[in-house]
Structure 1
Amino acid sequence: ADELLKAIIQKYGRPPNILVNSAGILSASSTLDMTPEFLQRMLDVNLKGTFFTSQAVCRELSAAKLPGAIVNFSSVAVRTNAPGMAAYTASKAGVDAITKCMAKDMSQYNIRVNSVQPGWIDTPLTAALAAQSDRKEAWTNRLATKRIGQPQEVAELIVFLSSDRASYINGSNISIDGGF
């Protein structure tokens, strides 16, 4: 994250004032079969990657006395108890927790931090899950909207949270899940 951030600052002469932490992995392992390496990888990518990328941007923005907005990807999984999802759910619950704490820490610098909690969104990742089982139909039937969400719907929420129109939204974990 530090090298990329340095390259951005060198090219544009300032740090980015908007950061969207969307990198993440999703994999399942039962409680009995989970290895320390499996859990560590989930935490490294989903939680530590989000934290340290945000930290690097916050350091640059605060030093330059520039406002900013950070949007972290969490998941609706933080409100479920799906089998085999303990590592993923823990990593995303951690994202929600650091979002709230970081929002409090960074508010004095006019840097807002929020997270989005997507439900089932039509992406290659969820398409692969749906192909492996009858999960898609079962999930859709649980939703008030009775349909899978589209990436554009999540993108529009992120654009809003990144804008000045969302200036009073800080430290929030916002679900976009079709009424799960």
Structure 2
Amino acid sequence: MNPFSLSGQTALVTGANTGIGQAIAAAMARAGAHVIAAGRSSCAETVALTGGEELTLDFADPMAARDVFSGRTIDILVNNAGIIRRADSVEFTEEDWDAVMDVNLKAVFFTAQAFAKAALARGADAKIVNIASLLSFQGGIRVPSYTASKHGVAGITKLLANEWAAKGINVNAIAPGYIETNNTEALRADPDRNKSILDRIPAGRWGRADDIGEAAVFLSSPAAAYIHGAVLNVDGGWLAR
């Protein structure tokens, strides 16, 4: 048996319409999983890549997935959906605080809760992979709610692992570094910022979305059966610098 295979498994990936979420969905499909690509906008491109199915979920309502796991068997949950709002802390609004915390933290917890309830009712092993951030460990600048939410993702990953590890549910997280996505295009296009970032990354390159996808496959596979509560940095060595 291939310990890295996801054959026969069904994986739900949130925020799977583009970028890291799409790469995770594609990697899961390559590993043999049936993929449900969830997003608030069309995931048609991801479905074409994976041969899976599409599900519309908008985590502006943190309870959007409350009924998703009833009546179907989903073995793997990847909580990837997230948003960011930028402003100086002295100007940051309550609206921007609440919007980010709802999607990035509250929805992560309650989606995991709904998933775990279904898995526990089946008596089945299951895997949860949350997408954290370098800002689960660092402060950042001008992103107070994002930083708070990603610190929270690291914390609830450990909390849920403590509660569910002995019940057959692995809960772990990935902290992506600087990845080549649409969100970082402006940074990569700025020669000074691009150089300053690359100078700090021991690997000497920006990460690729596939780097995160393959890490998610690992944490979802039998090979990671004894990994619980870990936050895996996939950052080219950024945090080690």
TM-score (ref. length: structure 1): 0.90
Matched, 1:5 2:69: yes
1:136 aligns with: 194
SS in 2 for 1:114: strand
Could you tell which deviates more after superposition, 104-113 or 78-87? 78-87
Matches of 1:42 and 1:88 in 2, distance apart?
6
2:235 aligns with: 177
1:126 aligns with: 184
Q: CA deviation at 1:135?
A: 3.0
Matches of 1:27 and 1:137 in 2, distance apart?
24
Q: Is the 8 A contact 1:15 1:57 kept in 2?
A: no
- 1:30–1:128 CA distance, 2 compared to 1 (3 A): same
Amino acid at match of 2:110: F
- 1:145–1:84 CA distance, 2 compared to 1 (3 A): same
Higher helix share: 1
Q: CA deviation at 1:29?
A: 1.7
Map residues 30-179 of structure 1 onto 2, 5 A cutoff.
30-131=88-189, 134-179=192-237
Number of residue pairs the alignment of both structures matches: 174
Give unpaired runs (5+ residues) of structure 1: none
Give unpaired runs (5+ residues) of structure 2: 1-64
Q: Tell me how large the CA RMSD over aligned residues is.
A: 1.6
Q: CA deviation at 1:171?
A: 0.5
Amino acid at match of 1:31: S
Percent identity of paired positions between Structure 1 and Structure 2? 38
Q: Is the 8 A contact 2:136 2:151 kept in 1?
A: yes
Q: CA deviation at 1:132?
A: 7.1
Q: Is the 8 A contact 2:136 2:152 kept in 1?
A: no
Could you tell which deviates more after superposition, 133-142 or 170-179? 133-142
- 1:172–1:16 CA distance, 2 compared to 1 (3 A): same
- 1:100–1:2 CA distance, 2 compared to 1 (3 A): same
Matches of 2:89 and 2:73 in 1, distance apart?
41
Matches of 2:180 and 2:111 in 1, distance apart?
26
Could you tell which deviates more after superposition, 137-146 or 66-75? 137-146
